[in-house]
Amino acid sequence: MKTINKTKPVLVTGGTGYLASWVVKQLLDEGLQVEQLSETNQMLRNINIYLILHQKVQAHLKFLMQI
């Protein structure tokens, strides 16, 4: 059985799923740093990008209305 290098983070895909969430918990309990990828993370990034773009568009429209 291979040992895990505890100085480097462990990547868990689907970390918000039922099984992977238990794996993440066990790894954290062992003192490991965990990075996770999930659809939820990507959706939050997309929402954040949308909100930033929306704010920029709103600022441009506000500027144009003043002209």
Number of domains in the chain: 1
Structural domain contains residue 52: yes
Per-residue pLDDT, averaged over 3-23, amounts to 82
Per-residue pLDDT, averaged over 26-52, amounts to 78
Query: Quick one: pLDDT at residue 67?
Result: 67
Within 8 A by CB and 6+ apart from 27, the residues are 10, 12, 34
Range of the domain at 45: 10-66
**Token code pair at residue 36:** 């996770």
Highest mean pLDDT among 4-8, 28-32, 35-39, 49-53: 28-32
Task: Tell me the C-alpha to C-alpha distance, in Å, between residue 44 and each of 12, 28, 37, 39.
Answer: 18, 23, 12, 9
Structural domain contains residue 58: yes
Longest dimension (CA), the chain: 70
**Token code pair at residue 52:** 């930033």
Structural domain contains residue 23: yes
d(CA 14, CA 23): 10
Structural domain contains residue 2: no
Q: How confident is the model at residue 41 (pLDDT cuts 50, 70, 90)?
A: low
